[in-house]
Every structure is written in structure tokens, then in C-alpha cells.
A and B are shown apart, each in its own frame.
Chain A
Amino acid sequence: MDLSKALTISARGMEAQTTRLRVIAENLANQDSTGAAPGADAYRRKTVSFDNRVDRALGAATVRVRQIGRDRTDQPLRHDPSNPAANAQGYVKMPNVNSFVEVMDMREAQRSYSANLSVLEVTRGMLNRAIELLK
């Protein structure tokens, strides 16, 4: 039935956005995580990418998280000789997390999540209305 498929599609969409939100939380929580050894890499920002795939069991295409990748941009250096991760010159590699980017991403995830939720609610209403024909 198409309406119940629509419910599943919206639910998967919300799931994907939830994963995205989780990754954003990880990035924000780790924006000061430097490496342990001198000169070691700091935390690398994680990225999420979505993909629309056919779910054979469902018989419809649903969205899913294709992969959680790593942002390969350079990590900024900060002069902090007292840090255990500082190299011989006293520079520490800092995570390439930009909190503005993360917050913008978070807003977008929230917006997409609520759009999926509205579609889900509308679909549920349509389903209920169809069921009420039996009364």
C-alpha cells in the first residue's frame, strides 16, 4: 500500500537526519580534541552524505546515509608549547571543526527533520481517513 510506504519513507528520512545530527554533535563535542602524541593529528571533522536507494523489501526508494566521511581540509595550527600534542616548534594541530558551519548544518538537519515529520503526520491523517470509510 502506497500510504504505508510513504510512512516508511518519511521515517527513514527522519532517521537519516538523526544520524546527521549525531555526527554534528560529535563534531561540536570534539572541536578541542587535539592529538595525544607530539605532532599528532587532531580530531578530523566528520561529514555525512545521503543517498536514495531502492529498498527491495519495501518496493520503494528510501533515503539513507551513504557514508560518514572525514573532512580532509588542513588542520589549523595553534602556538601552544605547553600542550602535550605540541610539535618541536610548539605548534599544536587543532581540529578542522568550524562551529558556525556545524550550527548551520544543524539548522538544516532540523528543518529537514520537521519537514519529514509534517509529511508523516499528513500521511497518517490520510490513512486514518481512508480507514474511517469502514465505519
Chain B
Amino acid sequence: MENSQLSVLELADRRMRWLDRRQQVLAQNVANADTPGFVARDLRPFADVLGDGTGASPASSHVRHMAGTRDPNIALATVTARGPNGNAVGLEDQLMQVADTESAQATAVNIFRKYLALFRLALGRGQ
């Protein structure tokens, strides 16, 4: 039970977290589609992140600790073309990835929902 069912929920949970984060990175890329010198970023692939946990970050134990601006999980995307102002964000490419992220998130949420429904069924409160 612990290993089979719970881990699916945990996996879905991690996947959703990763997708949330990715959506943020992609939103940043699109917002910077006209910023001079900006290069598109992307998260490390989910499979990589899954291997070593969700990526450790320094703890902030004091109010004056600032959140780091560089996330070890974020890498610059490979540059295929640059505009005259040094900007390297392909809008079409980014929007494709946004669509991709959305459908992956729908999948993860549905898996999560289905497993929750299984638990409800076991508890005798299923629909």
C-alpha cells in the first residue's frame, strides 16, 4: 500500500510542482520576448529532477536572507536565433512549450484525482 499507491500520489504531486515551476519559467521567457540580450530559460528535465529530489536550495534562517536569484534547476536554452538586439526568445517555441506544460499538468491532475477517488472508494464515500 505505502509503496504502490502513495508513491503515485507523490509522483503526481512532484510532477505538478515541476510543471508549475516550468510554467513560471516559460511565462518569464514570453514576458521577456523583447528584452535586449535575454536568452530563454528552461527547467532541467523532470526525469533528472526526480532522481535527486526537487533540488536543494539554501535555507533562509534570518529575515535578511534574500532568496537566491539563480536556481540550479534552471538552465539557459540553446540559442537558435538571435534578434538584432541580442534577444533569443522564440515566441512560437515558447507557446508550444506552454501548451505542452498545460496538457501535462492536466494529465497529472487527473491521475491525482483518480487516485484520490480510489481512496474515497476504500473509505466508503465514493460516488
Query: Could you list which residues of chain A lie within 8 angstroms of chain B, going by C-beta atoms?
Result: 1-3, 5-7, 9-10, 12-13, 16-17, 20, 49-52, 54, 56, 59-63, 108-109, 111-112, 115-116, 118-120, 122-123, 125-126, 129-130, 132-133
Contacts and interface: CB of A to CB of B under 8 A. Distances in A.
Contact of B67 (A17, A50, A59, A62): A59
A15 to B, nearest CB: 9
Interface of B: 16-17, 19-21, 23-24, 26-28, 30-36, 38, 66-67, 69, 91, 94-95, 98-99, 101-102, 105-106, 109, 112-113, 116
Contact of A52 (B35, B67, B95, B105): B35
Contacts of A51: 35
A2 B35 contact: no
B23 A2 contact: yes
B102 A122 contact: yes
B106 A129 contact: yes
Q: Taking chain B's interface residues, is the majority helix, strand, or loop, or is none over half, making it mixed?
A: helix
A112 B34 contact: yes
B31 A10 contact: yes
A132 B38 CA distance: 36
Contacts of B35: 50-52, 63
B61 to A, nearest CB: 17
Contacts of A3: 20, 23-24
Contacts of A7: 27
Given A54-B69, A111-B91, A123-B27, A129 B105 contact: yes
Contacts of A108: 34
A119 B26 contact: yes
B105 to A, nearest CB: 5
Given A119-B26, A122-B99, A133 B112 contact: yes
B125 to A, nearest CB: 13
A123 B67 contact: no
Nearest to A1: B20
